[in-house]
Amino acid sequence: MRVLLAGGAGYIGAHTAVALLDAGHDAVLLDDLSGTHSAAAERVARITDRTAPLVVGDITDDAVVEKAFDEHGPFDAIIHFAAFKAVGESTQKPLQYYANNLGTTFALLRVGIARGIRSFVFSSTGTVYADPVDLPFTEEATTSVDLSNPYSKSKRMNEVVLADVASVNPELNVTVLRYFNPVGAHPSGLIGEDPAGIPNNLMPYVSRVAIGSLERVGVFGDDYDTPDGTGLRDYIHVVDLAEGHVAALEKSAPGYAVYNLGTGVPVSVLGLVAAFEKAVGHELPKQIMPRRPGDVAATYCDPAKAARELGWQTRLTIDDACRDYWHWQQSNPAGYAGV
Ligand code: UD1
């Protein structure tokens, strides 16, 4: 299959490009390079010994998507990773978030359908599930668009748009993948997560403490109703997550389908920090802090549907993710900017 990866220079996009190329597919990356780096495309090519062309431009613009098709098409499929994703910033800049996170989808669908794609895969999030009584979340669990921030709302809005588009394009395979918490890096140490500024997410933060650029890990709350009092999440190694996209593309069928991509195994904040300390080889400074507003005590999925229908399941552990993230961090202390 020949696949266009919108947002392909990003963390999950670059790992998926590697997984597609390793599986014998062709991959072309389309990215606006806001928050991403062109070096990621070069590193994808280096890991796979294949070409991974990069087209740069604003993906909300039909002309940019058309250029990717003109220069590198036709494509069998589009995988859409391109989104602004800083949860806090999204509450300050709702219009930019809705315009970008929906506008990219509109342009990719308009051009992709006109140019005859068969499959469209969308990066969604496990935060669309609304009610903790449903844990572990299956794809049937209640979803809401009434979520705590515009980033998450934009993801659920995209799902609604995609279901409607699928219903009037019955020949199109539309797959929504609801990610839980992506962590880790490619074992080569060549591609990984490269957050700008101070990271919001736990593993990148812990890694910055380990490399010495941040002082200590703040543990946001130790009074949740969980075994050690800290929040539980379903951390999925980004290499497993990338392979989930390949499985979804290879198995996709006409219509609209939703899959959770997660491990199904909840890990606490202190559990993740302990696993990272093991990878680093020593303890890290940490401090219990108040709960972070908007956080839930626990979120983790039931990944059985993806196993059953896509023949996909995770094979890597939280220890693998910490080892690989730390390898990437040590090999690239300044991220891609140091390249
Ligand atoms: C966050 C986003 C979610 C997004 C996901 C991407 C929020 C509220 N949610 O999820 O929309 O899809 O990232 O991976 O931002 N923690 C600490 N100290 C830290 C950072 C985090 O204790 O410095 C804790 C949190 O309280 C939480 C866990 O670690 O219990 C995971 O946090 P994080 O990595 O930010 O992910 P989520 O909040 O689950």
Structure tokens at 23: 């599986």
- Averaged over 173-201, what is the pLDDT? 97
205 CB within 6 A, ligand 1: yes
Whole-number pLDDT of residue 337: 86
Q: Ligand 1, residues 292, 296, 300: which to mutate, most atoms within 8 A of Cβ?
A: 292
Taking the CA of residue 220 as reference, the ligand 1 atom at the shortest distance is: 22
pLDDT tens digit sequence for 5-22: 999 999 999 999 999 999
200 CB within 6 A, ligand 1: yes
Q: What are phi and psi of 119, to 5 degrees?
A: -130, 145
190 CB within 6 A, ligand 1: no
- Averaged over 146-158, what is the pLDDT? 95
Query: In the structure, what pLDDT confidence band is assigned to residue 130 with cuts at 50, 70 and 90?
Result: confident
Closest to 80 measured CA to CA, from 329, 324, 248 = 248
Whole-number pLDDT of residue 143: 95
Q: Ligand 1, residues 213, 220, 263, 268: which to mutate, most atoms within 8 A of Cβ?
A: 220
Taking the CA of residue 295 as reference, the ligand 1 atom at the shortest distance is: 8
Is residue 131 over pLDDT 90?
A: no
The runs of H, that is alpha helices, within the chain are 11-22, 39-48, 62-72, 87-92, 94-114, 150-168, 202-211, 238-251, 269-280, 304-310, 318-331
154 CB within 6 A, ligand 1: no
Query: In the structure, what pLDDT confidence band is assigned to residue 289 with cuts at 50, 70 and 90?
Result: very high
Per the prediction, the chain carries an average pLDDT of 97
Q: How far, in Å, is the centroid of ligand 1 from the Cα of 184?
A: 15
- DSSP class of 96: H
pLDDT tens digit sequence for 36-85: 999 999 999 999 999 999 999 999 999 999 999 999 999 999 999 999 99
Please indicate whether residue 131 or residue 116 has the higher confidence score (pLDDT): 116
The torsion of the CA quartet 192, 18, 261, 266, rounded to 10 degrees, works out to -40
Helical pair 150-168 and 94-114, crossing angle rounded to 10 deg: 20
271 CB within 6 A, ligand 1: no
Task: Say what percent of the chain tops pLDDT 70.
Answer: 100
Q: Ligand 1, residues 135, 158, 200: which to mutate, most atoms within 8 A of Cβ?
A: 200
Q: How far, in Å, is the centroid of ligand 1 from the Cα of 251?
A: 31
Contact 245, 79 (CB under 8 A): yes
Quote the CA–CA distance of 273 and 321 in Å, as a whole number: 12
3-state helix/strand/coil string of 265-295: CCEEHHHHHHHHHHHHCCCCCEEEECCCCCC
Contact 289, 219 (CB under 8 A): yes
pTM score: 0.97
- Which helix or strand (DSSP H or E) is residue 29 part of? strand 26-31
Quote the CA–CA distance of 239 and 187 in Å, as a whole number: 9
Residues 6+ apart with CB under 8 A from 293: none
Q: How far, in Å, is the centroid of ligand 1 from the Cα of 69?
A: 36
Q: State the DSSP string of 116-156.
A: T-SEEEEEEEGGGB--GGGPSBPTTS-B-S--SSHHHHHHH
Whole-number pLDDT of residue 108: 98
178 CB within 6 A, ligand 1: no
pLDDT tens digit sequence for 216-271: 999 999 999 999 999 999 999 999 999 999 999 999 999 999 999 999 999 999 99
